[in-house]
């Protein structure tokens, strides 16, 4: 082929794997005995299930919101529980927010609250999906998973 090539490699999960593999391959210090791209793929599947298949019911509370996040299949429920519990642990205290996540039979409840009234509109505006997107730790998290580390 001649001329410019497209930059996008396809589906975002595949693109994330392409980027990680290229970084690993370019690093002569990569410990290939520890690399686990399949673990990263499984995590990206969880992200997809939570983002696209979870059902979310949100309710205002006096100091924030409660999100009840559920799934209709075992794989969605498991993904919700893994992702929300891990993200809640990682983000608790950020922005002065108190986070509490509890497993329920078909998912989790997630309470987000703050004493700061100016943060309550942000909590409501972000909703569940926005909360899950908060924090610039995702790239480092994926890098750790691919390199065979257990970031949870």
Average pLDDT over residues 16-40: 95
**pLDDT, position 151:** 60
pTM (predicted TM-score): 0.87
Question: What are the Cα distances from residue 7, in Å, to 4, 10, 15, 18, 19?
Answer: 9, 9, 10, 12, 11
If you search the block for the tokens 């987000």, which residue do you land on?
A: 112
Average pLDDT over residues 108-130: 96
Burial 90-99 (b: 16+ CB within 10 A, else e): bbeeeeebeb
**pLDDT, position 152:** 56
Q: Are 80 and 110 in contact (CB under 8 A)?
A: no
Residue spans of the domains in the chain: they are: 12-146
pLDDT in tens, 123-132: 999 999 999 9
**pLDDT, position 41:** 95
Residue 52 has pLDDT above 60, yes or no: yes
The candidate with the shortest Cα–Cα distance to 63, out of 87, 16, 96, 90, is: 96
pLDDT in tens, 63-88: 999 999 999 999 999 999 999 999 99
Average pLDDT over residues 93-109: 96
């Amino acid at each position: 082929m001649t001329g410019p090539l497209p930059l996008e490699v396809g589906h975002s999960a595949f693109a994330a794997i392409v980027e990680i593999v290229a970084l690993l391959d370019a690093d002569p210090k990569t410990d290939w005995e520890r690399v686990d791209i399949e673990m990263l793929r499984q995590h990206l599947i969880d992200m997809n299930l939570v983002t696209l298949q979870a059902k979310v019911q949100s309710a205002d509370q006096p100091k924030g919101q409660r999100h009840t996040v559920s799934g209709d299949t075992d794989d969605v429920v498991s993904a919700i529980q893994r992702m929300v519990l891990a993200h809640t642990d990682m983000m608790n205290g950020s922005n002065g927010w108190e986070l509490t996540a509890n497993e329920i039979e078909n998912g989790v409840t997630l309470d987000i609250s703050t004493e700061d009234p100016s943060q309550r509109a942000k909590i409501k505006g972000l909703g569940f999906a926005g909360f899950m997107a908060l924090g610039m730790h995702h790239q480092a998290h994926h890098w750790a998973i691919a390199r065979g580390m257990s970031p949870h």
